Structure 1
Amino acid sequence: MSSIEQKIAAMGIRLPEAPRPLGNFAPYLVDGDYLYISGQISVGPDGQVLKGKLGQDLALEEGIEAARYCGIGILARAKAAVGDLDKIEKLIKLGAFVNATHDFPDHPKVVNGASDLMVEIFGAEKADHVRFAVGSASLPSNAAVEIEAVFRIRPDR
């Protein structure tokens, strides 16, 4: 088990099996030194989608939890892609969509659930990243949040 995976386990997090995509696209793509992870929706540890619209069905704290679930899904995909999470050199970008009412103002606070998780796991230097957090009228499976990621990975040389 890699040191990153040991850290994840010590945090009480169990990485799920990477789910199958919901459409006709690759779940991840390795291109040179970069790993692109397709959008991961807010699937909880019980395998159920955390559903609903922020500002209507869900409170801010539930949105933060949903983003954290997306982060865990991203890590599961990354492990499936590269086999060893210690190969991740840097988190480059998170792109997030928040299922929210038209007047919900706290998209960045919601997405901090994933950003904070990455910093907690990889450390501030490796997880210092750029991102976007925007509202969306709906998401697949009525998920609360969907997040994509880009990592720089250690090449196999």
Structure 2
Amino acid sequence: MSNAIETRLAELGISLPEAAAPAANYVPFVKVGNLVHVSGQVSQDADGLVKGKLGHDMELEAGAAAAKLCAIGLLAQAKAACGGDLSKLKRVVKLTGFVNSTLEFTDQPKVVNGASDFLVEVLGDAGRHARSAVSAASLPFGVAVEIEGIFEVE
């Protein structure tokens, strides 16, 4: 399946970055049995951190794009947890998305859809998952979105 996942990513014009190193005293992922728990991945791209607060200085579409960036980071960490072999990735089990948003903003699920839709687009049914999408008054470094995930692997 690795070739299928890598091929699909290439078709979408996406190359996974190197798995990000942790920013504090934690590990990027923990493997327990056949589950990999990936630490929160913040919204960032090649230009750096994607910052903003939904409902204040960031629109819904930009927030969903930031969530997609988090999903790309999650896949990069899952790949690292699988020793670089994405064929060992069986499915996405659960995502927990945190959205930097105002008290009045209530579309956190639509923001996190940016990650969920992307994972289904890449992995098909194996990308379907349980999920939580919650508001946060602020996130590390002022990023717009942070998402953690649980993956099933071989």
Q: Is the shorter-chain TM-score for this pair beyond 0.5, marking a shared fold?
A: yes
Deviation >6 Å, runs of 4+: none
Who is 1:50 aligned against? Answer: 50
Q: What residue ranges of structure 2 are gaps of 5+ in the alignment?
A: none
Who is 1:38 aligned against? Answer: 39
TM-score (norm 2): 0.95
Who is 1:70 aligned against? Answer: 70
| Matched letter for residue 49 of structure 1 | L
Q: What residue ranges of structure 1 are gaps of 5+ in the alignment?
A: none
CA distance in 2, matches of 1:141, 1:54: 15
Percent of aligned positions with the same letter in both sequences?
Answer: 49
Alpha-carbon deviation of 1:2?
2.6
Who is 1:149 aligned against? Answer: 149
Residue-pair matches, total:
152
Who is 1:19 aligned against? Answer: 20
Q: Secondary structure at the match of 1:2?
A: helix
CA distance in 2, matches of 1:117, 1:134: 19
Q: Secondary structure at the match of 2:40?
A: strand
Q: Secondary structure at the match of 1:69?
A: helix
Contact 1:42-1:143 within 8 A present in 2 as well:
yes
| Matched letter for residue 149 of structure 2 | A
Who is 2:81 aligned against? Answer: 81
Deviations, residues 77-132 of structure 1 (Å, cap 9, x unaligned): 11111021121111100001000001101000000000000100110x21221110
**RMSD between aligned residues:** 1.0
| Matched letter for residue 4 of structure 1 | I
Who is 2:121 aligned against? Answer: 120
CA distance in 2, matches of 1:92, 1:140: 25
Who is 1:4 aligned against? Answer: 5
Alpha-carbon deviation of 1:3?
2.1
* Residue 98 (1) aligns with residue 95 (2): no
| Matched letter for residue 90 of structure 1 | R
| Matched letter for residue 62 of structure 1 | A
TM-score (norm 1): 0.94
CA distance in 1, matches of 2:106, 2:100: 12
**Residues 75, 47 of structure 1: alpha-carbon distance in 2 compared, 3 angstrom cutoff:** farther
